């Protein structure tokens, strides 16, 4: 958790945190991926009730469409997007071929490769239609991927994520040199 974060473990604490942030003049409530399900939905409901948007990362137990349907205004860091637009049956087959003896990060990269190799244009269209209909923004924070999670440049194969980014965004915010 960040220094100014409010730890929320249940629905009552979630509602209280929303009211507290609203009373202190916050512009929005930021949710993180490890919130318990009951706390997350309490924050969603309370945010609507008091008129303050909520945004942040998609909960690890959830899927992006569910978070969007709950009223989450933005989904950050693209967490879950690659998984969301992978074809489940094709992904299951690819995952069977992953070497179980791989170390943690090797296995993670193999799973990411499997997700990237099984992207479904139909699932991609459905996800983006849902996000547009609900007016849910994607805040990719691509530098997070580059510095903290994905050291593998193969991640750029994630068509759905990077196709919508300006060239500088897909390059970690560093402008590309266009002349000598």
- Read off the pLDDT of residues 61-119 as tens digits, 9 standing for 90 and up: 999 999 999 999 999 877 688 889 999 999 999 999 999 888 877 888 888 889 889 99
Q: How far apart are the C-alpha atoms of 116 and 109, rounded to whole Å?
A: 10
Report helix, strand or coil for 126: helix
Closest CA to 71 of 23, 126, 34, 31: 31
pLDDT given at position 158: 52
What is the dihedral angle through the alpha carbons of 148, 150, 151, 156, rounded to the nearest 10 degrees? -140
pLDDT given at position 83: 87
Mean pLDDT for 12-36 is 96
Closest CA to 72 of 7, 134, 126: 134
Report helix, strand or coil for 161: helix
């Amino acid at each position: 958790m960040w220094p100014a974060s409010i730890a929320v473990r249940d629905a009552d604490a979630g509602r209280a945190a929303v009211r507290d942030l609203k009373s202190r003049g916050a512009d929005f409530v930021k949710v993180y991926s490890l919130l318990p399900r009951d706390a997350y939905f309490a924050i969603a409901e309370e945010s609507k009730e008091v008129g303050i948007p909520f945004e942040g990362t998609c909960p690890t137990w959830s899927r992006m469409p569910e978070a969007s349907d709950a009223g989450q205004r933005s989904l950050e860091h693209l967490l879950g997007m690659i998984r969301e637009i992978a074809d489940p049956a094709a992904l299951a087959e690819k995952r069977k071929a992953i070497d179980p003896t791989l170390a943690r990060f090797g296995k993670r990269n193999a799973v990411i490769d499997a997700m990237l190799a099984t992207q479904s244009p139909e699932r991609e269209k459905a996800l983006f239609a849902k996000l547009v209909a609900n007016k849910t923004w994607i805040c990719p924070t691509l530098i997070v991927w580059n510095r903290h999670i994905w050291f593998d440049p193969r991640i750029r194969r994630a068509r759905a994520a990077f196709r919508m980014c300006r060239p500088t965004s897909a390059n970690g915010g560093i402008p590309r040199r266009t002349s000598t």
